Chains A and B, each alone.
Chain A
Amino acid sequence: MVREITILPGWDKSGNREDFTDINLKAGETIAIVGPTGSGKTALITDIELLAQGDTATKRRVLLNGQLPGDEVRYNPAYKPIAMITQNTKCFTDLTTEEFLQIHARARRIADQKIIQDTISLANKFTGEKIKKDTKVSVLSGGQTRSLLIADAILIGAAPVILLDEIENAGIFKQEVVELIQDTGKIIIFVTHDPAIALLTKKRLIMGNGGVRKVIYQNELELRAAQKLLELDRQVGVIREEIRAGHVITKVNLA
Chain B
Amino acid sequence: MIIAGPPSAGKTALTKQILKRFQGELRIAYLKIDVVKAFEDIELRKEFKIMTRKIYSGDLCPDHAAVMVLGDAVDWAESHGADLFIVESAGLCLRCAPYLNQGLGIVVLSSISGIHAPEKMGAMVSLADVAVVTKIDLVSQAEREVFIQKIAEVHPRVILMETNALQGTSLHRLYDLILGSPEIEKHNLVLKGSPPLGTCTICVGKKEVGWKHHFGVVKKLDGPLAEYLFRGE
Contact = CB atoms under 8 A, between A and B. Distances in A.
Interface string A178-206: 00000000000000000000000000000
B171 A55 contact: yes
A71 B173 contact: yes
Contact of B140 (A57, A74, A95, A149): A149
Interface centre among A52, A57, A83, A92, by most B CB within 10 Å? A92
Contact of A77 (B137, B140, B148, B171): B148
B145 interface: yes
B115 A94 contact: yes
Give chain B's interface residue range (CB within 8 Å of chain A): 20 to 34
B146 A93 contact: yes
B140 A85 contact: yes
B145 A108 contact: yes
B139 A57 contact: no
B157 to A, nearest CB: 13
Nearest to A159: B141
Contacts of B150: 103
Contact of A88 (B114, B138, B168, B172): B138
A86 interface: yes
A91 B140 contact: yes
B161 interface: yes
A93 B143 contact: yes
A107 B146 CA distance: 7
B35 interface: no
Contacts of B138: 88
A1 to B, nearest CB: 20
Nearest to A153: B142
B170 A93 contact: no
B147 interface: yes
B201 interface: no
Given A85-B140, A91-B139, A153-B142, A55 B168 contact: yes
A76 B40 CA distance: 32
Contact of B170 (A55, A83, A95, A104): A55
B112 interface: yes
A8 interface: no
A29 B142 CA distance: 23
Contacts of A157: 141-142
A153 B114 CA distance: 22
Interface in A77-120: 77, 80, 83-86, 88, 91-95, 100, 103-104, 106-108
B23 interface: no
Given A55-B169, A57-B169, A91 B145 contact: no
Contacts of B102: none
Contact of B149 (A55, A57, A80, A106): A106
A91 B145 CA distance: 13
A24 to B, nearest CB: 23
Contacts of B168: 55
A2 interface: no
Interface string A142-181: 0001000100110011000000000000000000000000
21 contacts: A50-B162, A50-B170, A56-B169, A71-B173, A77-B144, A88-B138, A88-B140, A91-B140, A93-B114, A93-B146, A93-B147, A95-B115, A100-B143, A104-B145, A104-B146, A106-B153, A107-B145, A107-B148, A107-B149, A108-B145, A149-B140
Interface of B: 112, 114-116, 137-150, 152-153, 159-162, 167-173
Interface of A: 46, 49-50, 52-57, 71, 74-77, 80, 83-86, 88, 91-95, 100, 103-104, 106-108, 145, 149, 152-153, 156-157
Given A52-B169, A74-B173, 20 more contacts: A46-B137, A49-B141, A50-B162, A55-B168, A55-B169, A56-B167, A75-B161, A76-B160, A83-B142, A88-B138, A88-B140, A92-B143, A93-B115, A93-B143, A93-B147, A94-B116, A95-B146, A104-B149, A107-B148, A107-B152
